[in-house]
């Protein structure tokens, strides 16, 4: 699929101006130039600002806030006023960082919530008017390819196909890749399911974890797993024969949170989680344990807290369904994805 990006920087004074999408003559950007990638998802608003360094980049600033832009979207088909206000406030913080860091080139993308919402375009227009940030609503396929570009370096070595999955707030992307032909992986197949931690929680219930006790919580969890399994079935059926135990790499708040729980961290530490390889059975045990807990019990766990307590079980249901279909022994965890993929594209990396 072609890149639909207009690649326009944030606005400082007056309208946004087109920016170059290739390095200047000589083939390399200056190490002093700053680039930015903003990923506005159904649940999170995340910004990364970096400068070129060798074959990669060095992060100079970052921002992340849970905004729940897609809250209530499943019921109304619209972004709520409260969700929009929360998101605009986060985007103002991002705009200030972009200005202070003298960003040369930026790309800001919006994903499933804005794809699905009837008032998505109106929100995009308001965001630009009030913050100067031009959000590009990207397709599910481009979202998947950006995630691959951002995290594929963490896939375990091997000759068999690998499966990268991104459990988002409003959707889950699955990408089957071949890593045996050069440095850049080749996408063999991909699938986007309309279930992420927000959309699945709102559709299937069980997010509050309080009503009806443990039996009701487990019933809601099984309901979630059934919904997800049905949405993945077509993709699983069309994969080539022999793709039974691919190398798995997950990039999302769900897997990084569960990785933190697995390590017993008192607070989130990206340095310990990004690139972590964990036994799949350990992730299953954690998921099963969380599915039995009330939301108050989940909130008391380090690295989950009150902001994730009502949504984490939906992520567990999606993860366990992936492990049901592709029963790998180990699972790689990446705290990188779309934003890193955007930065690599802006700095001239080839496409997967």
Average pLDDT over residues 285-293: 96
Domains and CATH numbers, the chain: 34-138 (3.30.420.40), 154-334 (3.30.420.150)
Whether 61 has a pLDDT exceeding 80, the answer reads yes
pTM over 0.75: yes
Question: What six digits make up the tokens of 296?
Answer: 């108050």
Round to whole Å and give the CA distance between 264 and 43: 25
Whether 18 has a pLDDT exceeding 70, the answer reads no
Whether 20 has a pLDDT exceeding 50, the answer reads no
Round to whole Å and give the CA distance between 271 and 277: 13
Residue range 167-211, pLDDT digits in tens:
999 999 999 999 988 778 999 999 999 999 999 999 987 656 556
Per-residue pLDDT at 209: 54
Residue range 136-175, pLDDT digits in tens:
999 999 999 999 999 999 999 988 889 999 999 999 999 9
Q: Where are the alpha helices (DSSP H) in 111-246?
A: 112-116, 120-131, 140-151, 197-204, 213-238
Average pLDDT over residues 104-113: 95
Per-residue pLDDT at 23: 47
Give yes or no for a contact between 196 and 68, defined as CB atoms under 8 angstroms apart: no
Per-residue pLDDT at 11: 30
């Amino acid at each position: 699929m072609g890149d639909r990006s207009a690649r326009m920087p944030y606005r400082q004074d007056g309208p946004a101006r087109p920016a170059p999408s290739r390095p200047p003559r000589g083939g390399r950007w200056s190490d002093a130039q700053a680039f930015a990638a903003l990923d506005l998802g159904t649940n999170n608003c995340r910004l990364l600002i970096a400068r070129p360094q060798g074959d990669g980049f060095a992060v100079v600033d970052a921002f992340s806030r849970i905004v729940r832009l897609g809250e209530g979207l499943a019921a109304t088909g619209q972004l709520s006023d409260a969700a929009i206000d929360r998101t605009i406030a986060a985007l103002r913080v991002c705009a200030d960082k972009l200005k202070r860091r003298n960003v040369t080139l930026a790309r800001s993308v919006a994903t499933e919530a804005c794809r699905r919402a009837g008032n998505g375009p109106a929100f995009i227009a308001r965001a630009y008017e009030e913050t100067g940030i031009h959000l590009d609503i990207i397709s599910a396929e481009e979202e998947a390819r950006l995630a691959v570009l951002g995290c594929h370096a963490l896939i375990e070595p091997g000759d068999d196909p690998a499966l990268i999955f991104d459990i988002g707030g409003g959707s889950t992307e699955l990408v089957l890749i071949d890593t045996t032909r050069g440095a850049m992986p080749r996408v063999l197949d991909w699938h986007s399911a309309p279930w992420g931690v927000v959309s699945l929680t709102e559709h299937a219930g069980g997010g509050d974890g309080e009503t009806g006790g443990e039996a009701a919580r487990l019933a809601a969890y099984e309901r979630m797993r059934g919904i997800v399994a049905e949405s993945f079935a077509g993709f699983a059926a069309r994969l080539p024969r022999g793709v039974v135990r691919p190398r798995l790499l997950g990039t999302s708040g769900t897997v990084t949170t569960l990785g933190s729980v697995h390590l017993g961290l008192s607070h989130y530490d990206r340095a310990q989680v990004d690139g972590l390889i964990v036994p799949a059975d350990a992730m299953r045990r954690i998921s099963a344990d969380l599915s039995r807990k009330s939301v108050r019990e989940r909130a008391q766990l380090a690295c989950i807290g009150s902001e994730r307590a009502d949504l984490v079980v939906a992520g567990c249901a999606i993860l366990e369904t992936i492990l049901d279909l592709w029963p790998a022994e180990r699972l790689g965890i990446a705290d990188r994805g779309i934003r890193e993929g955007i930065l690599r594209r802006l700095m001239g990396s080839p496409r997967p």
